[in-house]
Amino acid sequence: MKKRILGNGLEVSELGLGCMGLSFGYGPATDKEDAIKLIRSAYEQGVTFFDTAEAYGAINEQLLGEALEPFRREVVIATKFGFKNGDSSQGQDSRPERIRAVAEKSLKHLKTDVIDLFYQHRVDTNVPMEDVAGTVKDLINEGKVKHFGMSEAGVDSIKKAHAEQAVTALQSEYSLWWREPENEILPTLEELGIGFVPFSPLGKGFLTGKINETTTFDKTDFRNIVPRFSEENRKANQVLITVLETLANQKQASPAQIALAWILAQKSWITPIPGTTKLHRLTENIGASTIDLSATDLAEINTAFNNIKVQGDRYPKHLQDRVGK
């Protein structure tokens, strides 16, 4: 798989693997052995960029630590700090002492002596950004962290952090059905030389074409509270899939592959991290790296999607209030 450079020199595979869904957010946790098999299969197929977080539960970091231990030096592991007691339902906590505590715990869970990319999971408005970035800077100087990242941060916070410690990457939601970062975030990242790591590049599964208004989710699946995933909105948004399927058929590809190839075509410093629990979906996603979309293809996609109004907010209000700070 081709490589890309994020920010100030972090080399990663052009597609990464988001590991949240292996144990958090999308229903019951994946069997441990199956999860390890999936992570190692990703590596064998060229993926070198793996994403986790304290907030996904200790098991998530531990899975990566065990799965990637045989080839730790060949991969990049990203994890995150920023929630009280590591629990996203308790709100933000990016106090310096908390950042340090999370770093020590993550190093242990990941079975490593250094965290390649350490993100602030959400901006904590109660802690000056200079203190957050300064603490990570100290961890970098101590050799415990290599690169600093932010997640779902706003332009002002990004600039403040970057002035204290170079931000290597911003991780935020971005896909064909959530393009808001194009307004202010992407121009800012380009100006500052910061990489972009889109999560949910497949629209939390919707852009695969495998979800419709009759789909039922596990009772613990957080999509049950996402407005965009109400039965009515899923039905209305099927028009997006029709557009993707048309182009996918022309390219002998899947809608998911077209959606990922579209992101890869936007900027050379963007590396999406689709997640999955299924080996065949992993292989399908990785196949997107072999698809070249022409300028005509991209124009066709943009024209079609610009004429479609996506129905439903991407987050319920209590989660939307945490982003863009």
204 torsion bin: left (phi>0), alpha (psi -120 to 50), beta (else): left
Q: Look at the block and give the residue holding tokens 């590591």.
A: 86
Question: β-strands 3-6, 10-13: how paired?
Answer: antiparallel
Q: Are 36 and 56 in contact (CB under 8 A)?
A: no
Q: Are 169 and 196 in contact (CB under 8 A)?
A: yes
Q: How many CA atoms lie within 13 A of 35 on its CB side?
A: 23
Looking only at Cα atoms, what is the longest distance across the chain? 54
Give ∠ CA 117-123-124 in degrees, rounded to 5. Answer: 120
The secondary structure of residue 31, as a DSSP letter, is: P
What crossing angle do the helices spanning 155-164 and 129-141 adopt, rounded to 10°? 40
Helix, strand, or coil (residue 195): strand
Catalytic residue among 56, 119, 174, 315: 56
**Known catalytic residue at 43:** no
20-40: b (≥16 Cβ within 10 Å) or e: bbbbbbbeebbeeeebbebbe
What crossing angle do the helices spanning 279-286 and 255-264 adopt, rounded to 10°? 40
Q: Which residues are catalytic?
A: 56
